[in-house]
Structure 1
Amino acid sequence: MSLKNKLTRMKKHIIREEDGEPAARPADHSADLPFWDLWKENGTTAYFLDDDFCLVREKRYPIHHQHGDYTFKDFIKAVDAWQGFTGEHPLSSKGLSHEDMFFFDTETTGLGGGVGNTIFLLGHGRVTDKEVIVTQHFLPQPGSEIPLYHSFLSNVDYNTLVTYNGKAFDWPQVKTRHTLIKDHVPKLPGFGHFDLYHGSRRLFKHKLDSVKLINVERNILGFNRIDDVPGYLAPMIYFDYIERRDPEGIFKVMTHNELDILSLITLYTHLTFQLLNVHDKATGHERFEVGRWLEYTGNGKIAKERYEEIIKENGEPNFKAVHQLALQYKKEKREQKAIELWEGIHENAPVPIRKVVLLELAKLYEHKTKDLQRALEMCSRLLALKESIGETNGKHHTIIGNLNHRKARIEKKIDKHIGFVTRRSEEENL
């Protein structure tokens, strides 16, 4: 007898969730289900809909539970910190409470998109004042997606989805599968969406070869998995379960999914603390990237404050921060402040920064302060630097040509100015 038929036969032993009654749970003699004792030991209940079903597992953690470098209570602190933020940012939870956030991750039968890829595990977590609740909806057999999505969507009451690359993968997959059964299940909510993958790329790509979540956990969040099943094995484990019905491997996939969800909570906490300067654990480079991210999202004033805090690290100038701060002053038409900063680093900064700084100084001296001799000096230094690098590509030759043109123009202005001064002096002496 198939697992579906056995469960259908057991429906008379199930207490349904109606009028506020407790969630459906199999009676004691549910041992007819293959390995049902194992499912029960792992906190699983059966969710029935008409003649079909899915399985639902729930796991709870106390709010003081430590996951990596943070407790889940730190997440509440992070959401509270956004309430005083005066700018705009794609991760801002201003106006939301911590219970509005919906941490979401899926496991699928393949890594590609399209209708041929089936989601077999929908996992989500929420944070209350006292605990973190992780709920997972499992597809026990192909074709049972209606109860799967019904159980999922009947219990979703959140404002904002939090994922890791979910905008590109997880949520589009949910939409695709939902389209096929939309007449039988609740509508998809119109979530806001925080995708933490993009924030990780911005802040950590300089120090990580890959910003896969497991690498971010290990190197940034202080969390190391033990005996974890790699995500790419999940499809094979699921197909093995469909054939043998032994859930041992599925429990490992569920644990993998559960850890993903818990790490999303910790990662959102960490990114928020970095962005809002809640703690001082970040390195100078990370704080610089935070400033760049804030600047990119239109928070120039806050970004400038970040740059000003880190322009010197361990007594040494943070060249990137100094350069970005000078650019901010230039945008504000405070050219003299920009010049002062660039003058302080143009001799010792790394070559990529020095090239840009020398050009900026040449422009400002020529067009703003009218210090043509200094403009010519900066232009000559940049030409010498470019030539010393030994580049031979077409772009290099174009830049050299433009610099020679700029130098010739400045020299012409100097000659014209010298000629004007000479004539004026001669006229005064007549």
Structure 2
Amino acid sequence: MVADPPLPLGRGAGGEVHKPTLDELRDRIARVLARDRTAPAPPPRQPTFLDLPFVREEKPSGPLDRLLRPTPLGHRVGAIPVWTAKTADPALLALLALDPELAGCDPKRALYLDTETTGLSGGAGTVPFLVGLGFYDEEAGRFAVEQLLLRGLGDEAPILEHLAERLERSSMIVTFNGKSFDMPLLRTRVVLNRVPKLPEPPHLDLVHVARRLHKHRLETCALVSLEERLLGRQRVGDVSGADIAAIYHHYLRSGDEASLAPIIEHNALDVISMFALVGLYGEPLDHGWADGALAPSDISAAAQVARRGGDLDRASEFARASVDRGAGALGHRALADVAKARGDKALALAEYERALELARKAPEDLGAVAEAVRLELAKLYEHHARSYERAIAVVAEGTAEQPARRAARLERLVKKRDKKPGSRARTKDTAAERLRLSAPAGWSKVRPP
């Protein structure tokens, strides 16, 4: 290419600087424009599919880049077989999710969903560029993972329309934190792209189940943490979630398809892990539920969830199983809570007493559990056993309530004890008096006996 001649710039005879005239500048601009018009335009970039084996399908709304991969027969995530998801008990899943709508769903027609996005804010500027779907393929007799890739911003309509078709054929949707993030984001994209509204089948969000069962012993209930601590799989070389958006922006700028490969693999692993979690959480107890995967305390937590859901028979079954497997104080507390819900106060009192005894001996810190149990014991001692002295003793030791309420409870118990026929005078060296003397400022006064 021949370079443009330089603009005349120098010094005249008198030493003054020569500046280009307006006509000279116009001539320069004209030459540049003429050169740009005659130069051939670069060909538009076409996807090569050499690095990413996505198949492009032409849809009325635009191209859809889709990758479909079946899971291997007998595939496991750690110790949990993937196929167990298709035989999961929907009633059990509904109970653990506290969502009765899920009880009538067919797990073999569930649609699993996970998205990778350009950000985590979830606002109008956040775009899901990879939608991972999972489902059971009846013809192949195995689960499959389907991934939809957004190769260019603005081409979302085919992805959203394909997702709507999948949802329409599904009995339920399964996500991990999808109620808070994935589905609201996808609904926003539907509105912005002016495509029909997405169907809304019953939604099982596994993150809520995981928190109810494991938050008492796990620092985090992130999906990767559950894989390691429950399923027995540790990812090696997995892309960090914090890097995903930056990698996609790099792809948009450079066209480097190979850079997306770790994200695609990460997304597929997320979907497959949800297969395994549904199989784990939906396996009935008499089929070996939780063998090696769930801790005894997780089963006692499941008993508490079942009690909240109103299934006291299953709650009792879980509580008994947790005690048999060594849940200790947590298991006996669950048994006591179930007995209390059934109105069996005598059994509840015995189980709370056993729970408190084990909590005191436990090697781990069960202070919060002990305080909650002491509060229940105080109520039962007061209203069922009419043993005000024992109620005073457990309240003085500490209960799970605000200091002012605890002090008021203690004051009421002391009055009841003193009014009880045949009660004898107490000395100042009682639990109630010790609590009164050590009470922080602001507590209501406890009358000494």
Under TM normalisation by the shorter chain, which class is it? 0.7 to 0.9
CA distance in 1, matches of 2:164, 2:42: 27
In the alignment, structure 1 segments of 5+ residues that lack a partner are 7-32, 419-430
Q: Which amino acid aligns with 1:126?
A: F
AA partner of residue 319 (structure 1) = A
Match of 1:37 in 2: 50
> Which letter does structure 1 place at the counterpart of 2:321?
E
Residue aligning to 2:416:
409
Distance 1:158 1:291 in 2: 30
8 Å CA contact 1:106–1:122 kept in 2: the answer is yes
- Kept in 2, the 8 Å contact 1:217–1:224? The answer is yes
TM-score, structure 1 length as denominator? 0.77
Q: Is the CA contact (8 Å cut-off) linking 2:297 and 2:322 kept in structure 1?
A: no
> Contact 1:103 / 1:124 at 8 angstroms: preserved in 2?
yes
- For 2:380, the equivalent position in structure 1 comes to 364
The CA deviation string for residues 51-71 of structure 1, in whole angstroms up to 9 with x for no partner, is: 842311111123421222122
Task: Give the drift of 1:222.
Answer: 1.2
Does 102-111 or 57-66 show the bigger shift?
57-66
User: Aligned with 1:378: secondary structure?
Assistant: helix
Letter in 2 for 1:136: Q
Listed as ranges, the matches of 1:278-357 within 5 Å are 278-279=288-289, 280-281=291-292, 282-314=294-326, 318-350=328-360, 351-357=367-373
* Partner residue in 2 for 1:172: 184
Match of 2:238 in 1: 228
- Count of paired positions: 373
In 1, are the aligned partners of 2:251 and 2:257 still within 8 Å (CA)?
yes
Give the distance between the partners of 1:252 and 1:186, measured in 2 at CA: 32
Q: CA deviation at 1:307?
A: 1.4
CA-CA distance at 1:330 after TM superposition = 2.8
SS at match of 2:180: coil
Worse-matched range after superposition: 265-274 or 152-161: 152-161
Q: 1:358 to 1:277 in 2, by over 3 A?
A: farther
- The 1:360/1:52 distance shift into structure 2, 3 A limit, reads closer
Distance 1:299 1:232, change over 3 A: same
* Map 1:391-406 → 2, pairs under 5 A: 395-406=402-413
Decide whether aligned partners of structure 1 residues 205 and 333 sit closer, same or farther in structure 2, where only a CA change above 3 A counts. closer
Please say which of residues 230-239 and 255-264 is displaced more in the overlay. 230-239
Which of 133, 138, 157 matches 1:146? 157
Q: 8 Å contact 1:137–1:152 — kept in the other structure?
A: no
C-alpha separation between the residues in 1 aligned to 2:417 and 2:170?
62
For residues 13-56 of structure 1, the C-alpha deviation after alignment (integer angstroms, 9 at most, x for no partner) is xxxxxxxxxxxxxxxxxxxx3433233xx2x1112235842311
Contact 1:102 1:162 in 2 (8 A): yes
Q: In structure 2, the residue corresponding to 1:288 is in which secondary structure?
A: helix
Residue range with higher mean Cα deviation, 395-404 or 142-151: 395-404
Most deviating of 229-238 and 59-68: 59-68
Compared CA separation, residues 311 and 269, structure 1 to 2 (3 A): same
Aligned to 1:261: 271
Question: Which position in structure 1 is the counterpart of 2:106?
Answer: 97
Q: Which moved more, 1:171-180 or 1:403-412?
A: 403-412
Structure 1 residue 233: deviation in Å? 1.3
- What is the TM-score of this pair, normalised by structure 2? 0.74
Distance across 1 between alignment mates of 2:106 and 2:395:
56
From 142, 147, 156, the counterpart of 1:136: 147
**295-304 vs 146-155, greater mean Cα deviation:** 146-155
Which residue number corresponds to residue 191 of structure 1? Answer: 201
Distance (whole Å) between structure 2 residues aligned to residue 193 and residue 73 of structure 1: 20
Deviations 1:314-343 (A, max 9, x none): 5xx721222232233233232222233234
| Deviation per residue, 1:278-334 (Å, 9 max, x gap) | 4233321111111111112222221022212333555xx721222232233233232
Give the superposition deviation at 1:174.
0.5
> Quick check: 1:118 aligned with 2:118?
no
Distance 1:233 1:2, change over 3 A: farther
Q: Which residue does 1:204 correspond to in 2?
A: 214
Shift of the 268–398 alpha-carbon distance from structure 1 to 2, 3 Å rule, reads same
Relative to structure 1, the CA distance from residue 113 to residue 87 in structure 2 (aligned partners, 3 Å threshold; closer, same or farther) is closer
Distance 1:230 1:86, change over 3 A: closer
Cα root mean square deviation, aligned: 3.1
How far does the alpha carbon of each residue in 1:352-380 deviate from its partner, in whole angstroms, 9 at most, with x for none?
Answer: 4444444544443443344xxxx133134
**Structure 2: 5+ residue stretches without partners:** 1-40, 361-366, 426-449
Distance 1:355 1:136, change over 3 A: closer
Query: Counterpart of 1:132 in structure 2: which amino acid?
Result: F
Q: Is the 8 A contact 1:383 1:403 kept in 2?
A: yes
Which of residues 37, 53, 63 in structure 1 aligns to 2:63? 53
Q: 3-state SS of the aligned residue for 2:275?
A: helix
